[in-house]
Amino acid sequence: MCRCPFYGFAVMVPEIGVMLHSGGNQCAIITGSYSPCQMEVAGEMPNWDECPFQRQRGPELLARVKEFRVHPGDSHPNVQCSEDGMSFEEWFEAVMEEA
């Protein structure tokens, strides 16, 4: 299982802050068009702690998404959330603890 809260997600309506699971290897950090996880493309396991985006702009990225709602679908069966999703903070903790 990958250790990245942005792996497999698309940012939908950034103005209201919603992240939806896309069912693939999309990176929610790269907006404007579909873009796969750059670590996976390079043959590495996606890992937020090792991500080039995290090393370059980690605190800035986390500050921008801290109010987002995340809708993980069935991407992480052990993570439970309501129909209105879960906070990004809850999602981040679940993903980083799960892996």
In this prediction the pTM is 0.86
User: How far is Cα 81 from Cα 41, in angstroms, rounded to an integer?
Assistant: 30
Residue 39 has pLDDT above 90, yes or no: yes
Query: What local confidence, expressed as pLDDT, does residue 99 receive?
Result: 56
Query: What local confidence, expressed as pLDDT, does residue 87 receive?
Result: 93
